Structure 1
Amino acid sequence: MPFQPLLPKTSTDFRGGDKPGTWIDGTVNLFRDLGDTLEFDAGINTEINSVPSPWSRPLQFISAFKNANYPSRDWLIAQYRGLLATLALAENLRLDITVSSVQLPDLQDNQFAKCIWGLRPRDEDSVLSINPDQGAWSEIFLFELDGVVIGMTSPATLICPTGYFPHQIKSRISWLKWETVYNQKYGRNDELGFFQDPIQNGLAANHKNILSPWLADLRNAVLNNPINADLSGNVARILDEFIDQLNVRGDGRYQPCEQPTPFGMPLGHKFTALHPAAAVIQDSHVKVIPSRGRNDELYIIDPRNLPGILGIPTRDINVIGSAPLENFDPNLHRGGNERFATPRDFFLDELYYSETPGLLPGSWLDQTVRTAKIDNLTILLPFHSWVQDYFSSEDLERNVSIRLIDSGHPRKISISLTMQLSGVERRVPYTVRQDFDLIPENRLSDDYPTIALWPNLPSNGAVQWTEFFLLESVSDQVGVSYSFQIQQPTDDGILTNRLIGQESYHYWKSNQRPDILEAQKDGRLIGMIPLKTPQLAPGAIDTWAVGVDFGTSFTNIYMRKGNQNPEPFQLNPALLKVTLGSEVKFKAFHDHIYRDFFIPDVLEPLGNVPPMSTAITTLGWQEPVNGVAQCMTEARIYYPNLSFGKFSQSVKTNIKWENFKYQKPFLSFLVRLISAQAAMENVQTIEWSISYPSAFSRAELNQYRVTWQDVLNDIKGITGQTHTLNPLQTESIAFSKYFADILGQTMVHTTCIDVGGGTSDLSIWRNNELIHQASVPFAGRDMFHNLLRSKL
């Protein structure tokens, strides 16, 4: 019986000699056969470090591809698949992978490089079509991600992944597994990662559709005229198994990357087949549907709740491009207007409030708080300012919920916002929610700044108004600031400051209607004030005729809608009072702010429609010589308070006959008031009829006509309405036409006298024909004012 050699356990017996100590000649193949039949239990994730060669990793992969029974074959192939998927999807995952070249023959003056070159694998182990001139292993390319080498090229298997990675790339790739390994050199535990099979470890369904055809192209490149056909066949079978297990239906196709050197330098030979697939733009599942006209690049990052809402795992939830929610890194996808928000990102850290209700009449917040049966609070909406880039005040009103949590101490306010996400097959609702403690440190005083908007017109009406003014009181009569300030209300807002003693005011002028105001305290955002959206009152008539009698003391306005009867024009201030401000405690000061610096919220006197005073106030404007005042910020129509005495010096009167430079500001403001009221009813066309005293000289008449033409040209650019100016008529004729055309009086032997403030205009008619007209400088002020003044 022959003796058995002393060998490890093998799956095949090796015959020994007939006598102990007898040598048997054999070939080198004996060692290969011995290695291939060794039997031992290897851990599935065991790295073999005892192969006496610096080429141990490539040699292990060569062995695993050639030998189906190689002990750690499954683990090595899983890593192989992981690196393949990483390279193929580098563009889609926004992985900035670069390569560096190592040419060993050029490094022979280095002893280590010389040793490596001497121990290189055989040139026959190559799937390339043509080896480089100095041999298959003469040039190696290293793949690096964030400074970490994740693999190298191999002429035998195309790639060879690195065994372990440091933690700095932990969040970059889903199919990395991490283990804690004790570092004997430094006496510490290090977290190290390695590639896993991506199929069961985070590979998204949409990425499978890209990867499968990419692998098919790679397989074809491997089988194209290889040096080692057997090894090429083994590699192709590994790729086929990968493709089969991806289970992609149909003839998948991918778009090659357009860059000629996507890894930073050319690879050459068959390694060009490793170039990544081009980034694919696919529909997002988590894109927020914004308000009309708002930015549409908001994406929700919520791995905890989105899988349940969308019904798919995080690896299949597409955020942007083709990037899945799993391991999504927002920093890799910010290239334009994109914003990636978690639920917490919507809210400020704290909620600010006042213990007096109803301080924000111009915001829907007051009504929402009352609806929630919170009767003793005014709150600021605790959203970050960027929220208004995506949601209008009107949409926030529909989708914000406010609830009081009265149990426990302190009390809490729960704020939630529901929005629509793009979803998988249809839109789905998604809600963010945050609870806030009502703590004393965040309680605001009731001394809110006075904030008002004019004109209060919607942005979606048929008339596209493009001039808005927002007034904010900054400090009161003794220079005390208010409980908060507001930021620039629109991107195009232009600020004008006005100082009167200790009082300070801001005017914000903008081309678009402010929608949401940001409140600040000590330079820090403390909340938002979303404004109410005005509702149009459209009528069936889109044309108005407006007549203006510009008088010395008073101005009368009549209007006719379409073919209806003329009627006195009831002016509506079209004002939005955003805050109560000083009205809470100081009603007289409140009246002063609106009357002297803006527009009264009630145009006095009440009841019948009276003529309006022909007066303008320039309070706060440091009037330059020959300067022409601008509407609102420098000059405003003045509405007298009958309980006050005489006008202050800032109120300009007699602008018809003497203070000519105030005519245009007065008429501009008047036309804006009338046009804004027309816009609320979607009126597209206004026809203007203007009267003038026959006492005007030719120069005065020409200047008056030019002023009206300028005013109407200006308003056309602001409203987009059609404004036409009829030929001017004398006040005497206009007055007599009222009796003839409206009252139906026959003008047989008739004299009409229009007694104004500075002149009386008369016309004489016979048989309905004008015989004579004149204007005399004796009128109301001579009959009443001067007479009464002499008796005082």
Structure 2
Amino acid sequence: MALLLPKLKPDCDVKASEAGEWDQQGSKAFQDVASSLDYKSPGQPKSVSSVPTMWARPLSMEMALHNNQYPIRDQMIKQWQGMLAAIALAEVRGFPLTAQLLELAEVTYEPFAQALFELLPDPANVLYTLEGKNPWQDVYLFLWDGKPVGMTTPSTLVCPSEEGEWAGLPWWQNQQLLSPHQFLNSSEKELFWRWLENLRKKLPQDNDNKKAINSIGTLIDDFRASLGGIPEEPLSLSDDPQFFGVLLNRGVLNALNRPVKAKPKPSHVRLIPSPEKGEVLDLLIIDPEIARYWSQSPQTIWVHEGKTLASLKIEDLRTGKIIWRDVRWIESKDLFLPEFVFIDQEQALPGAFLPQETQPLVFNSDRLTPLIPLNPILLEYFTPEDLISKIQLQPINGSDGPQIRVRLDLPLTGINEGNPPENYTLTKDYPLKAENALAEVPVLEVWPNFRAEGWQEYYAFYYDAEYGEDTFQVSFPEARETQVFKDGRGSYQMARLESFPSFIKCENGARNFLGLILLATPEEIQPVSSCMIGVDFGTSFTNVYFNRNNIAKPLELTNDLHLQITYVPNDTRLPVLFEYFIPENFIPQDKPLPLSSVLTTRGSQKTTDNKDGKQVFDGRIYVPDRYRFKPQEDYIKTNLKWLTEKLHFNQLFLKHLALHITALATKNQVNQIQWSLSFPSAFSRNEQRRYAKAWRDLTQKLQTKTGINHICPVVDDLDYFRSESLAIAQYFADYEEHNLVNTTCIDLGGGTSDISIWEENQLVHQCSVQLAGRDLFSQFLQWNPKFLERRFGVNVSDWNGLRGGAFNAKLDVLLRLESEEWLHQRRDFVADEPDFQGLIQLTAIGIAGLYYYVGLLLRVLHQEGKYSREEITPVYIGGNGSRLLNWLAVGGEFDSNSEINELLSRMLSSGSGFKDTEEITRLSQKPKDEVACGLVLRDSKLEGLKKKARDYPIAGEDYLLNGIDISWDSRLELPEEVQELKVPHLKQLKKFLYEFHVALRDLDIEELKRLEGYQVTLDSEPNDQLWRSTSKELTNVSLNIKGNSDNIRVEPPFILGLKALLQVLGKQWAEKWKK
């Protein structure tokens, strides 16, 4: 034994027994042995292993704490203190400390446990008792990272194991637990002090063993005193009732059950957002490296809800064990994308906001354009301007080749709680990989490219240009709705947003996130003025005028409403914008107004026709050109003005038109629009109401979406809801400054001719007849498109099969773009060709017939006493159809010297019965601008513009209405219900055609030929075949004139007959010259 055990002190109380015999003694014997050992620690202390029991370590700790003479008492106390500190500060420091309960009585079937149970220590020094059993039966094992490091004992509270691995515990050094004092900050010492105080108070509550309680209590008091004075803060314990994974509830051990909780402080790792972002949910940046970066201890960096960087277990957040509902959090590593994807082109994103480059970024010696490899969550907290200022890209040379270092500077609240913010810099190095290079870019646009208070109507557009995997796809996270579709090999996307997008997410075909495109925030427009907008919604074309500061001019269709984000050649970009989105350029560029009244629904996802169509998504203004325009396609909608079914196409066109106008007005700092609208008098009463209501509805919605005040007229607002006939008269009187002392004004459009007659600047009569460009010209070419092939060089296969509005729209585009040049340079070369002569003969008959009808109006108005003069009037004519006069004039340009003037004056004379005073027809200076311009002119010298009395049209031809004979000079006032309307005799029409031919002869008109086969006589017999054919055409039309009169477009019988005559003659001409 002398070789195995340390020697005893000379005055020890331990007496030797007989050698080789076991001697049973009480627990005091162990205390005596411990007190009698003559032992000095030679360097690193170890427990004395002289206690011959399986409970040697906890009994050694008991002896050390309860026996002041224990040889290595000081070292054992330090270990004991170290374990208490680890338990108390487990939450604050985030220690990986857990506990497990071991009830020996329950596991005695295990041999080792059975031995432990049978050798339970004597409970002489226990601090608590357990009913019916030795308190040593139930102990808790403490584990550090899942490995045992200590246990509880009823005599010492805790006992660290001899070889426990406390890896990461600051006061575990050189494989030994130390006293924690020098490793705690002042706040932790105060928290620990209160915890020890609580432990001390609970010691006597479960036992009356005063000696044991005093021994341990004294140690706790001394430990507490060594931490400093009495702290101000009260005791604060963890909210988790089983912080260590099990409830510690055996006697006084329940004082160990909950570690301390520090008084929460505001988060130090909260991201400070841009001021413009307003109230946003706090975003916490979780990164253990923040403490090192700021040269702070992890336990001093507060995260949230009492958690510090030290105490927070990130795995608890990842798994949902901890859920923070009042903040958002993200690990700093997740702010970067895994790969750096780039476009293998220089300046491929001219409309994007790109970060600073310390040096040019190159790949294979060529400049590249980066996609920003950051998490888009940052854009919820920073404006693009702020974020871009925090990013830096730097090319570096890595061990495996060239790399890009992405640096991100984040302003966090920091330990000064945001005064000032504390920067935290993150970096990530990305290798430049060929597989991450994108060869091409898509078409990517945003409209409109401005901000204004209240404006909430933005649209984004994407087209992959059929590059497929060679480019990227996109998503618009801020979009309210998106529409994705394919057409042929192309992929498309449209999105509607309520604010200007700050970024776009780029993705691959599998919708994996590739990177960000940031968009600079446009400067906010400050609208301060008001304006008046006049809209002339025409059959063929729609025109818009603008009046601000009493200056009337065409609305400027500028091309600065688009943000072009990607660089794509215009031969790809511009056509796709025309076809699938909002055009950037309107053609012809030198005079984009008027717009073609054509709608495209291409890309719409609507499967049924209803009134709920969305502007831009389901229908947009279409700007056709000669070669692209295919009106036969289902997605092209024409004849919008006169649609009686599928009215939503009409309304979609108007919705987009109004939106585009509003955007242009806002761009020009307008905050209030007074709308002024025109309509043809030929509209039925219901059509007028419906048209006015459509505008009222769409402008009300626009007001809520744009922040612009829209003032829109109701149907009886005579100031701002006016007939086209009155608007054009005001144009001639107040814009061109002609007198209307004795004048007829005609707006000759595509679908109607709107007529007003004036005397002494007062309105005498106004009406609208459905005889215009489509009846006077377009229909003839529809029946004979070969003429267009011969004279204009068109590919006739593109025209065959087109009918009605589709044909007219295509012809309108061709004539608008090419007719002026053709008339000036080529007309006279074909002037004597029979097919051309036949065509202009038909147009001349139609226009002459219109003038003849005006003559009839003058006669009837004179008879009624409303027109005092027995004189014909000069005629001011405008509108898109007025250009047809150029087709009838030598050189292709009509003026006061054109001999057709004489013919038209004679027709006025013939119709009225008044003397032919050779009045001239004056062509407008701005064909098709007149109505829109007149709508925005104020302070007119004309009287009668607000005339409320209904002006019924004059029949011009005898007719039968519901079986009653009515004279040609009567007003056409329909009863509530129309059963039939017939025009049996065509007396006035026959007289007109006779007078027309007489005028050709008497005036020696050289530019026009007489009708082949027509006998110049008032006798119907020689021309019987012509008139029978005309009557058939007329009957075919008049059969449809029945029903409620509010739904009937009233047409004078003379005009009905004239249109029937033109159809008969036109078909004859087409048949003759179709080959």
Alignment TM class, shorter chain as reference: 0.7 to 0.9
Q: Is the 8 A contact 1:205 1:316 kept in 2?
A: no
Letter in 2 for 1:217: N
Alpha carbons of structure 1 residues 752 and 429: separation in structure 2 relative to 1, 3 Å: farther
Identity %: 29
Contact 1:120 1:137 in 2 (8 A): yes
1:362 to 344, 351, 372: 351
Provide the residue aligned with 1:382 in structure 2.
373
Higher mean alpha-carbon deviation, 413-422 vs 770-779, is at 770-779
Conservation of the 8 A alpha-carbon contact between 2:205 and 2:252 = no
The alignment status of 1:422 with 2:394, answered yes or no, reads no
Aligned pair count reads 745
Alpha-carbon distance change, 322 to 746 in structure 1, aligned in 2, over 3 angstroms: farther
Is 1:701 the equivalent of 2:688? yes
Partner residue in 1 for 2:251: 269
Paired residue type of 2:253: F
Residues 626-637 of structure 1: pairs in structure 2 closer than 5 A? 626-627=609-610, 629-637=613-621
Closer, same or farther: CA 324–764 of 1 in aligned 2, 3 Å? same
User: Does the aligned pair in 2 maintain the 1:79–1:197 contact within 8 Å?
Assistant: yes
Residues 190-589 of structure 1 mapped to structure 2, 5 A cutoff: 196-201=178-183, 203=184, 206-222=187-203, 227-247=208-228, 250-258=231-239, 264-265=246-247, 267=249, 269-276=251-258, 277-278=260-261, 280-291=263-274, 292=277, 296-303=282-289, 306-308=291-293, 310-326=294-310, 329-334=313-318, 335-336=323-324, 338-342=328-332, 345-365=334-354, 368=356, 376-384=367-375, 386-388=377-379, 390-404=381-395, 411-425=402-416, 426-445=420-439, 447-458=440-451, 461-465=452-456, 467-474=457-464, 476=466, 480-481=467-468, 483-490=470-477, 494-511=481-498, 513-521=500-508, 523=510, 524-541=512-529, 543-560=530-547, 565-572=551-558, 574-581=561-568, 583=569, 587-589=570-572
Task: Write the distance in 1 (CA, Å) between the matches of 2:10 and 2:30.
Answer: 13
**Structure 2 stretches lacking a partner, 5+ long:** 20-24, 716-720, 782-787, 789-834, 840-1075
433-442 vs 27-36, which moves further:
27-36
Higher alpha-carbon Rg: 2
Indicate the larger mover: 728-737 or 655-664.
Answer: 728-737
1:341-376 CA-to-partner distances (Å, cap 9, x unmatched) read 34x5443454333443221122012x8569969783
**For residue 671 of structure 1, what is the aligned residue in structure 2?**
658
Contact 1:462 1:682 survives alignment (8 Å)? no
Q: Which has the higher helix share?
A: 2
- Residue in structure 2 matched with residue 640 of structure 1 by the alignment: 624
TM-score of the aligned structures, taking structure 1 as reference length: 0.80
Conserved 8 A contact 1:204-1:324:
no
What is the one-letter code of the residue matched to 1:610?
A: L
**Cα contact 2:30–2:51 (8 A) shared by 1:** no
Query: Which residue is 1:119 aligned to?
Result: 119
Equivalent residue letter for 2:767:
A
Contact 2:749 2:772 (C-alpha < 8 Å) held by counterparts: yes
Deviations 1:27-72 (A, max 9, x none): 9978645522422325546355553223333322222223455444
Q: Is the 8 A contact 1:615 1:651 kept in 2?
A: yes
Q: Is the 8 A contact 2:206 2:251 kept in 1?
A: no
Q: How much has 1:418 moved relative to structure 2?
A: 1.7
CA distance in 2 between counterparts of 1:745 and 1:154 reads 114
Amino acid at match of 2:444: I
Partner amino acid, structure 1, of 2:428: Q
Q: Secondary structure at the match of 1:137?
A: helix
Q: What TM-score results when the alignment is normalised by the length of structure 2? A: 0.61
Change (3 A) 1:531 1:31: closer
Q: 1:222 to 1:30 in 2, by over 3 A?
A: closer
DSSP-derived class of the 1:415 partner: strand
Structure 1 residues 31 and 378 mapped into 2: Cα distance closer, same or farther (>3 Å)?
closer
Q: State whether structure 2 residue 76 is matched by structure 1 residue 80.
A: no
SS in 1 for 2:411: strand
Partner of 2:160: 161
Q: Which amino acid aligns with 2:722?
A: T
Alignment of 1:64-143 (within 5 A): 64-68=64-68, 70-92=70-92, 100-104=100-104, 113=113, 115-128=115-128, 132-143=131-142
Q: 2:722 aligns with which of 692, 714, 730?
A: 730
Instruction: Check conservation: 2:528, 2:670, Cα contact below 8 A.
Output: no
Check 1:671–1:170 CA distance in 2 against 1; reply closer, same or farther (3 A cut). farther
- Counterpart of 1:188 in structure 2 is none
Q: Distance in 1 between matches of 2:639 and 2:496?
A: 29
Assess if the C-alpha contact under 8 Å between 2:93 and 2:311 holds in 1: no
Pair 106,528 (structure 1): closer, same or farther in 2 beyond 3 Å? closer
Deviates more, 1:677-686 or 1:376-385: 677-686
Conservation of the 8 A alpha-carbon contact between 2:358 and 2:394:
no
C-alpha distance in 1 between matches for 2:78 and 2:671:
71
The yes-or-no answer on 1:778 pairing with 2:763 is no
Deviation at 1:598, TM superposition (A): 0.9
Q: Contact (CA 8 Å) 2:458, 2:496: kept in 1 or not? A: yes
Q: Distance in 2 between matches of 1:507 and 1:609?
A: 25
How far apart, CA to CA, are the structure 1 residues paired with 2:405 and 2:152? Answer: 57
Counterpart-to-counterpart distance in 1, 2:405 and 2:105: 70
CA distance in 2, matches of 1:341, 1:118: 52
| Preserved contact between residue 206 and residue 316 of structure 1 (Cα < 8 Å) | no
Contact 2:101–2:246 (CA under 8 A) maintained in structure 1: no
Residue identity opposite 1:631 in structure 2: Q
Q: 1:722 to 1:135 in 2, by over 3 A?
A: farther
SS at match of 1:213: helix
C-alpha spacing 1:714/1:392, structure 2 compared with 1 (3 Å): same
**What SS does the aligned partner of 1:534 have?**
coil
Q: Which amino acid aligns with 1:76?
A: M
1: CA distance, partners of 2:112 / 2:55: 13
Aligned to 1:40: 40
- Code of the residue aligned with 1:569 in structure 2: it is L
Aligned to 1:656, the other structure's residue is in SS state helix
Specify whether residues 774 and 639 from structure 1 end up closer, same or farther in structure 2 by C-alpha distance, changes over 3 A only.
same
Residue in 1 that maps onto 2:588:
605
Higher mean alpha-carbon deviation, 702-711 vs 138-147, is at: 138-147
The secondary structure found in structure 1 opposite 2:640 is: coil
Match of 1:127, SS state, is coil
Distance 2:126 2:14 in 1: 36
What is the distance in 2 between the residues matched to 1:98 and 1:311?
30
CA contact (8 A) 2:453 2:707 kept: no
